[in-house]
Amino acid sequence: MNSAKLPDGGVLYDETEDDEDDVASAPELERALGIDWNEALKNESGLKGADLIAEFVKHLPNAPGVYRMFNEAGDVMYVGKARSLKKRVSNYAQGRVHSNRLSRMVRDTTHMEFVTTRTETEALLLEANLIKRLRPRFNVLLRDDKSFPYIMITGDHRAPAIFKHRGARARKGDYFGPFASASAVGRTINSLQRAFLLRTCTDSVFETRTRPCLLYQIKRCSGPCTREISDEGYAELVNGAKDFLSGKSQNVKATISRQMTEASEDLDFERAAIYRDRLAALSHVQSHQGINPAGVDEADVFAIHHEGGLTCIQVFFFRTGQNWGNRAYFPKADAQMTGAEVLNAFLAQFYDDKPIPKQILLSQPVDEQELLGLAFCEKAGHRVTISVPQRGEKKDLVDHVLANAREAHGRKLAETSSQARLLQGFAETFGLSYVPRRIEIYDNSHIMGTNAVGGMVVAGAEGFVKNQYRKFNIKSTEITPGDDFGMMREVMTRRFSRLLKEEGRPDRTQGVSPEDAADAPFPAWPDVILIDGGQGQMTAVRAILDELGIRDVVTAIGVAKGVDRDAGRERFFADGRSDFSLPPRDPVLYFVQRMRDEAHRFAIGSHRARRKKEMVKNPLDEISGIGPGRKRKLLQHFGTAKAVSRAGLNDLMAVEGISETVAKQIYHHFHEKPAG
């Protein structure tokens, strides 16, 4: 156990075992490394910036580790790792920073925290984990880091099913991926259905089928639910699908081609046509995979284009010799950082929660290529090579990915520039004293007041910010069904009451300078709220803003549909001016229409999802203690939930897994008087 204390009694660094209070919330990696972050350091001396850091340096060891830098508000500004904490942190104390951005970071530092690790590779992995979790302002940040979809073929059922899968691999089965997008998975599964006739229904639907479904009729499923195919025959289809997804596509196609020829020679032309259609489906899968280099079996290919203050990293995924798609990333990074520095930080974060392939190909060398390779080997449990191809097929492949990165970079730069001009025009049109950084757009959706949902979408300098979208299930029982004003009052009250509680009232007097705007985190408070409605809606919204005392910090604008509800004839309602319209070809009008339509789409989608959930709601779901297993047994025994509700105690107890206590609970749920 190592530790050091400052003169004011604060702990500088600590290698003690996990503290009980930290274990519940710490990530798995921190628990594995035995890390115990100390509480925020006290700074009673009043030191800050380089002077404070110089004081810390006196007590730091020459050991690998990770450090965090905090500002006065207690926010983590930066997470870094070092081979030697003492040498690395001393650079900050001596002013050895390569940009004005990092100079501001040092100047704003009011306290730091440190932890030592056994090796530098552990420090690298921990640093990436913390950056993704804490999202510090001054680090390179991997944005749009959604989990990748996989194809799963289940392994816990007599008739395995094929599904799209995201998240933890909790269910037994075979997983193939990652794929770059859900649409790529959908296309592949659709083609595999035609090629191998695998089922895509849930187990509960499978168990209750008494005759084949429509998919069997249109030759998209072999009908294992009603024994239209034997278990052995279905297992052959499943194995064929697994072989194809495992890279044995040529063997699979050769087998099907041979079966087609044999059927044709036997004059069984109907069976031959089935094999022909299966071959066509497999060819369709491969035709959508684009480039498929013969020498690349399992690899991720990264190419970076860094220009004009914007960085694009294009990633192509190759598994089992097949191209499973690509995705463009635009990490947030200091414009003065080199492409090698950005790519280095990106790679560490990218593989923090993703499986690592055996080979990683890069368009250019990175600063810590050897260290990354060691860390990835340690994390993956197998050999991982990181290389920059110089010739041959792999070099051609990297060049192809780099060309895609340049094209995506150009498109993004044009979109960002256009969005900035639109926001500037929006500010001028509505008389704002500043260009808004966050606009929230609200809309409601319901059918005769039922399943009412309020939707909020968010737009900023880079377009729609989908991870900030929110839906509000209307809960008040005092609202008259169909009362749009009452619904909007509830949405506004819930949204801004919570915002005040969590973020406090914003200070609009200071503003954000253009220099800091690019580095500052996306604001929690909106500058402008757009309401889909006219004067009545705006009256309700302004009353809520007045009640909460925030009308002076949030600009509310109403957008009413025009005469005959025609697009282009909208009326706008804003404080301090009469309602007005914009010229039909005004770019700002198109901008507002696009935001309003997105809010409308999101609200309707949320409403439909809620309505669908209500429509398929099973009465058995309302009974405490009846989980999926017991519900399945009851439905298999009685057929429907209605039949369960009419069953007597003895009938309920006859079901496997239903004890007398549970049977009474079910019976009492459907009958007012307890059974005698």
Residue 553: per-residue pLDDT: 87
Residues 6+ apart with CB under 8 A from 584: 568, 569
Residue 469: per-residue pLDDT: 92
Residue 351: per-residue pLDDT: 87
Residue 306: per-residue pLDDT: 86
Answer yes or no: are the C-beta atoms of 108 and 71 closer than 8 Å.
yes
Residue 10: per-residue pLDDT: 37
Q: What is the pTM of this model?
A: 0.67
Q: Read off the tokens for 617.
A: 């709601």
CA 440 to chain centre: 20
What is the DSSP-derived secondary structure letter of residue 225?
Answer: G
Residue 21: per-residue pLDDT: 34
Question: How do residues 329-388 score in pLDDT, each as one tens digit?
Answer: 888 887 778 888 899 999 988 888 788 888 999 999 998 889 999 999 988 888 999 999
| Separation of alpha carbons 330 and 322, rounded Å | 25
Strand pairing report for 359-362 and 385-387: parallel
| Separation of alpha carbons 215 and 212, rounded Å | 8
Q: Read off the tokens for 252.
A: 């699979």
Q: Which residues of the chain have pLDDT under 50?
A: 1-43, 673-676
For residue 423, the SS3 value is helix
Residue 570: per-residue pLDDT: 84
Structural domains of the chain ordered from first start: 3-134 (3.40.1440.10), 150-287 (no CATH), 299-317+326-411 (3.30.420), 432-506+523-603 (3.30.420.340), 619-670 (1.10.150.20)
Residue 31: per-residue pLDDT: 46
Residue 508: per-residue pLDDT: 63
Q: How crowded is the C-beta side of 242, counted as CA atoms within 13 Å?
A: 15
Residue 64 burial (C-beta neighbours within 10 Å; 0-12, 13-18, 19+) = buried
Note every long-range contact of 517-525, with CB atoms under 8 Å and residues 24 or more positions apart, other chains counting.
Answer: 517/437, 517/461, 518/309, 518/335, 519/101, 519/137, 519/138, 519/334, 520/137, 521/135, 521/137, 522/437, 522/438, 522/460, 522/465, 522/468, 523/437, 523/438, 524/499, 525/438, 525/499, 525/553, 525/554
Residue 141: per-residue pLDDT: 85
Residue 456: per-residue pLDDT: 92
- What is the residue type of 394? K
Nearest to 115 by CA among 192, 34, 13, 27: 13
| Separation of alpha carbons 272 and 275, rounded Å | 5
Residue 185: per-residue pLDDT: 81
Answer yes or no: are the C-beta atoms of 94 and 135 closer than 8 Å.
no
| Separation of alpha carbons 463 and 419, rounded Å | 7
| Separation of alpha carbons 520 and 75, rounded Å | 12
Residues in the chain: 676
Residue 672: per-residue pLDDT: 60
Nearest to 138 by CA among 284, 289, 334, 287: 334
Residue 312: per-residue pLDDT: 92
